[in-house]
Structure 1
Amino acid sequence: MDAGERRLHPWSWLFVLQQQIQQLLLPLVAVLVFGSRGDDDSLPYHHWITAAVIVAVLASALAQYWSYRYRIGTDTLSIRSGIFERTRREIPFARIHNVVVHQNLLHRLFGVAELRLESAAGDKPEAQMRVLKLEQALELERLIRHRGSAAPGVMVQEPAADVLLTLPLPELVRQGLISNRAIVVLAAAVGAAYQLFPRRAMEDVITQQGRQMFGYASQLQLGTPTLVITGLMVVLLALVLLRVLSIGLAIVQYHGFRLTEADRRLTVERGLLTRLRSSVARRRIQAWTLREGALHRLFKRRQLRVDIAAGGAAEKDGRALKELAPLAPPDTCDGLLQQLLPQIQWPPSQWHAVSTRGWWRLCLPALLPVAILTAVLTHETGAPGLLPLLWLPWSALKAHRQVSRMGYSIDAQRVAVRGGWWNRWWRIAELDKLQALRLDRSPLDRAFGTATLTLDTAGAFGAPPLQLRLLEETRARELLDQLGAELARRKLRW
C-alpha cells in the first residue's frame, strides 16, 4: 500500500455485511420458514443454503474491505477497489455536488460514519465510503467544501456557520400532524406481512378476528345506534393513534434539525436514531419549490424543497439534501428564498394569468375511472352504485380553481410558476439553470388556441414540472423566443 493511501475503518466489513444481509433478509427468512422440512435428524437443505449465502456475503464484505484504498490529493480523490477486476477512479472535488455523512445507531456506537459523494450524472454516487471514522469523514467533507485547498491530513479551519432554521418540538408535532406518515408505514407493514406469510393465512387471521369482534358485539345485544356510535369511536381512536404514530415518526426523522450556511454552502443535519448530515453548494441548486397543502394552511405553514443536480439514487434513498424547510411559516420560507437568492425578488410583484378557456380539461382524467367504477357498482348494487358520480362536481370545482390560480412570472434573473388549489405549489428557477425549452400543443390545445411551455432543469425528481400551461399560443411562442435568445446569450457569455 502506498504511503499516501488509506484504508477504511477496520470494522468496515461489518457494516457492508449488515447492509447486504439486510437486503437479503426477506429471501433468507422465506427460505427458513417455507423451505422443505426434513423428516430425519439431519440439517434440512434450506439451512445449508442459508449458511452458504451468509458465508458468501461475509467473504464479499471482507474482500471489499481488503481491496478498498483511497488517497486524498490536492483537488482529487483517488479510489482503488476490486480483487480480480481492479478499478481505479479519480474524482475531482469540483465534480462533487453533494456530500452526505450518514450515521445510524450502529455507526454511532462504533464512532464511525458512512460518507457518500454524489455528482450530477448517473444513478450511483461517485463514491460510497462505508465506513470511516467520524473525524475522518468530517475532515474529508471539509476538504471537499474548500476544493482541496488544504494539504491532506490537515484540519481545515471551518468558517462560522449561520443557522438559518431549526425545528423545535412544537414544529415537529405539527409536521407529524400534517404529514401523516403512519399511513405509509402501515401500508408497508401490511405489504411486508403479505410477502412474509401466505396470503391464505393472512386472510384467515383477518376473517377470524372479524368474526370474534362481531360475535362479541352480538353477545352484548347492543342496539343499532349504539353499534354505530361504537364504530365511529373505534374509527376515531384509530385515526388518533395514526396521528400519534405520525408525530413519533416526525420526531425520529427531524429531531435536531438544523439548516446552516457557511462559505455559500448549505448543510442540513437531522435525525434522532439515524443521524444524517448533507451539504451542497448553493450554486448546485437547480430549482426551488414551495408546497402548501390544506393542513399546511390550517397550521399556517409551508415547505421549502430544492432540486439538486445529483443522481436519481440519491433522491430515492432519501439521503440527498432536498428539504431546506420541512415546515416553517410562510414569511420564514419567503425570507429564506430572499436570503439565499438575493438577486431575485420574492414574492413577485405581479403574476401573469393563463387562459381560462377550456378550464374543464383539467377534470377529464377523472371521468374515465369514475365512469368505470360507477358502471361496476351499478351492476352490482343498483342505484347506490351512482354515488361515485358525486365526485364529478368536486373535480369540476377543483379544475376551475386550479386554472384560476395558475400563473407565471419572468424577469431578467428567474422564472416562477405557481399552480394547484387544494394543494398549492410554487416553482422558482434561475435562468442560468435552465437546460432546455419545449413547446407542446395537444389536440385540445389546438382547439382552444393554447400551448404548454416546459422549462427543463436538472435534478427535478418528483417535483411539480416547471411548466407554463394553458398559455395563449402567441404568448407561448413569444416566451419561447425570448427565453431561447436569453439562454443562447448566457451560454456565449460563459
Structure 2
Amino acid sequence: METIASRFSTPQRQSRVAIGIILIKFIRITIKSFWPIALSFLVGGRNNDTFTQIIGYVAIGFAAFNLIGSILTYFRFYFHLEEGAIIIDKGILQRLKTNIPFERIQTINFKQNILHQIFGVVSLEIDTAGAKKSELTIDALNKEDAETLRNFILAEKAQIVVQESDSEETVVSEIEETEEVILHLSVPDLFKVGISQNHLRSMGLLFAFVFSILNEITEDIPELVADEISAYDNEILNTGWIVFLLTAVLVIIISFIYSLVTTILGNYDLKLSIRKSGLKLVKGLLNREETSINKKKVQVISWSDNPIRMLFKMFTLQIEQASSAEADQLKSKIRVPGSYQKQVDAVIKTVFPEEYYREEEKHSVSKLLKYRIFFFIGLLPSLVLGVIAAFSVDWEALYLLIWPVAIWFITHLYYRKRSFEVNHELLKNNRGTFGHHYEVIQLYKIQAVEVKQSWYQRRKKIANLSLYTAAGSVKIPFISIEQAEALENFILFRIESDKREWM
C-alpha cells in the first residue's frame, strides 16, 4: 500500500492550473508597476510623442520577457518530501534547491482566488520562523493533495517534538482535531462590519486614484476648468457651493459603497474555529483564505471598536503572532472583524490561561499626559494661528477658539480611557478616544522591557514603559518612575522564573 511519504517522495510539478495562476499574478504585478507608463504611452501615441512611444515599447518588451519567464517558472518548479523535510527545486537560468525541515515549519495556510475555486485547487503557503514572506508557495495544488500534504507534515512535526521532549502524548494531526466554530459572520453581520469601516480611507484612495489618472492624461486641468467657468455669468457661479456639496455627497456615497463591497467580499462566510492547538480562520469570496494560528506563537490579542461598532456591540479582534525583526509584521497580524464580546473572551481563554483573564485594579496614567497633548495640539496651534489671523480677518479670528475647546474634549476622553491592569500572568493595556482599544499580553512572552524618560519627564519624575514582544511592542506612557521601575522588575522576574516555551 502506497504511503503518503512514498507518494510525495518523487519530484513533481504543481497542477496545470498553476500556469494560469502564474499568468494572472504576473499581469497584476505588471499593471501595478507600469500603468502610469502605459497611460503615458497611449496619450503620447495619440500626440505622436516619440519619446513616450519609446518608453512604452520598452515597457511592453520588458513585460513580454517576464511573461515568458513566468511560464518557464512553472515547468522548472518541483517539490517532494525527503527524510523529514520538504524539498523545493526551482529556477530557470540558475537552479535553487531549498530544504525546509518539518520542525522549522510554523504554519501551512491555504489561499484560493476565483480561478482556484473553479478548478478545485489551492495555493499552499508554508511559513517558517523569521521568514519575511512565505518560505514556500505552491501556486496551485489539488485541494485533496494539499490537505493530505499539510496533515502529514504537521503530524510528522508533532512526532519530532514529542520525541525531543520524551513525551508519550498521542500525536494528532491538525485536521483530526475537533473544531468548534465560535464565529460565523452572517449576512447582517457583514453589513454591520461594512457600515462601520473607515470610509475616510476609501475616500482618500478614491481621490488619489482620480487625480493621478487626470494628471497622467493632461496637465491643463486648471486651465480647462477656468475656461469652462468663464462661460457662465455670476448668477450661475453662485451655485458653486451647491455643486461642491453635491460632489462631496457623491464621493461619500461612492466611498461608502466601495468600503461595503470590499468588506463583504473579503470577509464573506468568515468562520473562526477553536482547536486544541490554536485557532483557524477561513474567509473570503473571490479570494478564499484559510489561516491556522498556533496558540503558542500568539503574543498579543487586541480588540477595538468605534462609535458605530459600539451601537452594534461589535469589535474588530486582532491576533498578533511571533515574527522576527526581519519579517513583515503585517503578515503576523490576523484580523477578525465582527466579533462580539463572547467570541473575544473565548479566544483569549483559549490562548491564555483562563483563570488569569479577569478584571484587575486599573492604574491610570499621569494627568500631565492630558495637559501636554492639549498644549501642543490644541492651545499652541490656536494661539499662533490666532495672532496671524488677527491682523488679516479681525474679529473672525475668534472662530479659532473652537479648536482648543474641541481638542480639550477629545484629550479628556483619551485620558479617561488610558489605563493598564496587571496580574501574575497577563497585562492588559486600555486606551481609546471615541472608541475603545484593549490589548492583552502574556508576561513570560515579553522579550525586553524599556523605561524611557525625556528631559521634561525627568523633571516631573514620570516615564514611558515599553514592552517588546516577537510581534511588536506595547507602550504605557506617563506613569510615575517608581511605578515604571517596579513594573519593569516584576516583569523581568516573571520572564526569568517562567520555564515555559512559546516558539
Counterpart of 2:437? 425
Offset, 1:55? 2.5
Counterpart of 1:290? 303
Offset, 1:34? 3.9
Q: 1:304 aligned to 312, 317, 320, which one?
A: 317
Offset, 1:404? 2.9
After superposition, where does 1:193-272 map in structure 2 within 5 Å? 193-198=210-215, 201=218, 204=221, 208=225, 239-240=252-253, 242-272=255-285
Counterpart of 1:469? 477
- Please state if 1:352 is matched with 2:370: no
For 1:245 and 1:459, locate their aligned partners in 2 and report how far apart those are by CA, in whole Å: 31
For 1:260 and 1:99, locate their aligned partners in 2 and report how far apart those are by CA, in whole Å: 16
Is contact 1:453–1:467 with CA below 8 Å preserved after alignment? Answer: yes
Offset, 1:74? 5.7
Is contact 1:115–1:137 with CA below 8 Å preserved after alignment? Answer: yes
- Please state if 1:490 is matched with 2:503: no
Q: Deviation digits for residues 105-164 of structure 1, max 9, x if unmatched?
A: 1222333222222234242221122232233333333334434469xxxx9863332111
Counterpart of 1:184? 201
Is contact 2:107–2:127 with CA below 8 Å preserved after alignment? Answer: yes
Q: 1:89 aligned to 88, 98, 101, which one?
A: 98
Offset, 1:433? 1.4
Q: 2:64 aligned to 47, 55, 61, which one?
A: 55
For 1:139 and 1:407, locate their aligned partners in 2 and report how far apart those are by CA, in whole Å: 47
Offset, 1:259? 0.4
After superposition, where does 1:361-400 map in structure 2 within 5 Å? 361-367=372-378, 383-384=395-396, 387-400=399-412
Counterpart of 1:15? 21
Offset, 1:375? 6.7
- Give the letter for the 1:107 counterpart: H
Counterpart of 2:420? 408
- Give the letter for the 2:281 counterpart: V
TM-score, structure 1 normalization: 0.83
Counterpart of 1:104? 113
Secondary structure class of the residue paired with 1:125: coil
After superposition, where does 1:39-50 map in structure 2 within 5 Å? 45=54, 48-50=57-59
For 2:210 and 2:92, locate their aligned partners in 1 and report how far apart those are by CA, in whole Å: 39
- Give the letter for the 1:300 counterpart: K
Secondary structure class of the residue paired with 2:196: helix
Secondary structure class of the residue paired with 1:252: helix
- What is the root-mean-square deviation of aligned Cα atoms in Å? 3.8
Counterpart of 1:169? 187
Is contact 2:132–2:328 with CA below 8 Å preserved after alignment? Answer: yes
For 1:94 and 1:140, locate their aligned partners in 2 and report how far apart those are by CA, in whole Å: 15
For 2:58 and 2:361, locate their aligned partners in 1 and report how far apart those are by CA, in whole Å: 67
Counterpart of 2:130? 121
- Give the letter for the 2:139 counterpart: R
- Give the letter for the 2:461 counterpart: G
Moved more, 123-132 or 468-477: 123-132
Q: Deviation digits for residues 289-308 of structure 1, max 9, x if unmatched?
A: 11122222222222211111
Q: Deviation digits for residues 393-434 of structure 1, max 9, x if unmatched?
A: 222233233233222222221111111232321111112211
Is contact 2:360–2:423 with CA below 8 Å preserved after alignment? Answer: no
Is contact 1:176–1:248 with CA below 8 Å preserved after alignment? Answer: yes
Is contact 1:165–1:258 with CA below 8 Å preserved after alignment? Answer: yes
Q: Deviation digits for residues 272-328 of structure 1, max 9, x if unmatched?
A: 221111112111111111112222222222221111124677554xx65612x3122
Is contact 1:125–1:314 with CA below 8 Å preserved after alignment? Answer: no
Is contact 2:203–2:251 with CA below 8 Å preserved after alignment? Answer: no
Counterpart of 2:85? 76
Secondary structure class of the residue paired with 2:354: coil
Q: Deviation digits for residues 43-94 of structure 1, max 9, x if unmatched?
A: x655643442232112211232222221234642221222333222222333
Is contact 1:416–1:428 with CA below 8 Å preserved after alignment? Answer: yes
Moved more, 357-366 or 401-410: 357-366
Q: 2:354 aligned to 335, 343, 346, which one?
A: 343
Is contact 2:202–2:259 with CA below 8 Å preserved after alignment? Answer: no
Is contact 1:360–1:400 with CA below 8 Å preserved after alignment? Answer: no
Moved more, 260-269 or 208-217: 208-217
For 1:269 and 1:298, locate their aligned partners in 2 and report how far apart those are by CA, in whole Å: 26
For 2:223 and 2:352, locate their aligned partners in 1 and report how far apart those are by CA, in whole Å: 55
- Give the letter for the 1:101 counterpart: F
Counterpart of 2:12? 6
For 1:160 and 1:210, locate their aligned partners in 2 and report how far apart those are by CA, in whole Å: 70
For 1:469 and 1:131, locate their aligned partners in 2 and report how far apart those are by CA, in whole Å: 48
- Percent of aligned positions with the same letter in both sequences? 19
- Give the letter for the 1:164 counterpart: I
- Give the letter for the 2:484 counterpart: A
For 1:359 and 1:309, locate their aligned partners in 2 and report how far apart those are by CA, in whole Å: 33
Q: Deviation digits for residues 136-195 of structure 1, max 9, x if unmatched?
A: 333333334434469xxxx986333211111111111111111144x4344324323443
Secondary structure class of the residue paired with 1:146: helix
For 1:425 and 1:112, locate their aligned partners in 2 and report how far apart those are by CA, in whole Å: 39
In structure 1, the gaps of 5 or more residues are none
Is contact 2:429–2:476 with CA below 8 Å preserved after alignment? Answer: yes
Q: 1:30 aligned to 20, 39, 63, which one?
A: 39
Counterpart of 1:140? 149
Is contact 2:321–2:471 with CA below 8 Å preserved after alignment? Answer: yes
Task: Classify 1:397/1:9 alpha carbon distance in 2 versus 1 (closer, same or farther; 3 Å).
Answer: same
Counterpart of 2:163? none
- Give the letter for the 1:192 counterpart: F
Is contact 1:139–1:156 with CA below 8 Å preserved after alignment? Answer: no
Task: Classify 1:11/1:231 alpha carbon distance in 2 versus 1 (closer, same or farther; 3 Å).
Answer: closer
For 2:250 and 2:40, locate their aligned partners in 1 and report how far apart those are by CA, in whole Å: 38
Offset, 1:439? 0.6
For 2:253 and 2:46, locate their aligned partners in 1 and report how far apart those are by CA, in whole Å: 44
TM-score, structure 2 normalization: 0.81
Secondary structure class of the residue paired with 1:198: helix
For 1:210 and 1:280, locate their aligned partners in 2 and report how far apart those are by CA, in whole Å: 59
After superposition, where does 1:446-461 map in structure 2 within 5 Å? 446-460=458-472
Secondary structure class of the residue paired with 1:113: strand
Moved more, 141-150 or 107-116: 141-150
Offset, 1:364? 4.2
Secondary structure class of the residue paired with 2:451: strand
Secondary structure class of the residue paired with 1:115: strand
Secondary structure class of the residue paired with 2:367: coil
